[in-house]
Structure formats: C-alpha cells, structure tokens
A and B are shown apart, each in its own frame.
Chain A
Amino acid sequence: GAGVSQSPSNKVTEKGKDVELRCDPISGHTALYWYRQSLGQGLEFLIYFQGNSAPDKSGLPSDRFSAERTGGSVSTLTIQRTQQEDSAVYLCASSLINSGRTNTEAFFGQGTRLTVV
C-alpha cells in the first residue's frame, strides 16, 4: 500500500470486552510504533518494534495491553477488559531502518478511534 493503514478506523466497545487494533505498515519498513492520544492530549508512546530486536514495551500502561508483530510486518495491539479510560485514538507509525540507522522519517496512519462505553 501507499501508506500506513490502520483498521478499524472507529471502534465502539463495551467496558470489559477485549479489542484488537490492526496496523499494516509500509512494505519493507522494519520499525513500527504504537501511540495513543486522548482527546486534547499529546501522543503517548506505547510500544516500539525494530527488526528482530526485543520490542520496547516500556510505554504500555498496564498488563491489559499487549502487541504483536507477525513476520516483521502487520502488528496487532490488543486491549483486554477495556476500561473507559482506554478511550482514545490509537496511532501506528512505521519507518525504514537501513544499515542500522534508526534516524529516519516515520510515517503515521490515520489512527483508530476507540470508544469504550
């Protein structure tokens, strides 16, 4: 695809249910990032995948949050037992790592707006 694709674009779920958010990065991009943004707030880092390295999970707010990246491409962010405070826009980004240089432009998707009712 031409850019980073996220699905669904909108998700409404009941409190206590599990949700899965999907991110399709740009083909060939080895780095993938997840963020969330609550209404009127800044971007909160969640997790960062880079090639075959262990992911940086330091931003995950609780053990209800987890993420996978299969085959170095598609990533899924899972939120278990959703709470109302999980309501936010979840953004995914990807970038190309070349010769170990992580200092490259990141491209963002349009996000998934999650509403927990």
Chain B
Amino acid sequence: DAKTTQPNSMESNEEEPVHLPCNHSTISGTDYIHWYRQLPSQGPEYVIHGLTSNVNNRMASLAIAEDRKSSTLILHRATLRDAAVYYCILREEYGGSQGNLIFGKGTKLSVKP
C-alpha cells in the first residue's frame, strides 16, 4: 500500500467544522482513499472512501485534490462523540491477495465542549 502522512493530533471545538488533512503524494491511479476512525476503547469503523470526485455521506465529506496527492476529511459539525483517531488509508481497487488494509498512525482528534 502507498504511504500516507497525517498530523499526529488536532483539536476542534464542538459544533464547528473540522478539516483533517492527509497527504499521499505517491498515490497510484487505481488507489482509492479510505478513511476509518477509532473511538476510544472500540474497534475501527469505516467513515468514507473515494477515488477522484468529492464524496459525501451521513458521517462526513471527502475532498480530494485534483492531482490526488492529498485529501481532506471534513466533519461538518464536530460533536464530542467525534473525538477519535482518524486513519487515512490507500487501497487498490482490485488488490486481490494484495488488497490488504494497513493502518498508519492516524490523527488523534480532540473535541472541546
């Protein structure tokens, strides 16, 4: 899997938007950008993924740079429950036996009331 770079930690205020950046300068054309998050004392959960176009779902939005070398996960209104470690991961679409899911260190998001 290609490498991603994320800030170690970020802080946000409750009910404000949060922009979590991810750099992936060595991304290949068949790599999708996935985001997972891990709430305290829980297993990771899927957030969103995309290829080239921006994506929206009930949890978040994903903004992908035109050159695909970076992306930003957007939480529109942070809540205390959004405090978690957020992981940005690249995965090949048809990875076959190589289609593993490898986590980096992620960004620890703190949300202040």
Contact = CB atoms under 8 A, between A and B. Distances in A.
Interface size class of A (residues with CB under 8 A): 20 to 34
Given A42-B85, A101-B93, A108-B45, 6 more contacts: A53-B97, A100-B96, A101-B94, A103-B95, A103-B99, A110-B42
Interface in B29-87: 32, 34, 36, 38, 42-46, 49, 85
A91 B43 contact: yes
A105 interface: yes
Nearest to B51: A103
Given A101-B93, A102-B93, A103-B93, A109 B99 contact: no
Contacts of B93: 101-103
Given A101-B94, A103-B91, A108-B43, A42 B99 contact: no
Interface residues of B, number: 27
Contacts of A54: 97
B9 to A, nearest CB: 13
B80 to A, nearest CB: 21
A32 to B, nearest CB: 11
B102 interface: yes
Nearest to A55: B97
Interface of A: 31, 33, 35, 42-43, 45, 48, 50, 53-54, 56, 91, 93, 95, 97, 100-103, 105-111
Nearest to A111: B43
Contacts of A91: 43-44
B17 interface: no
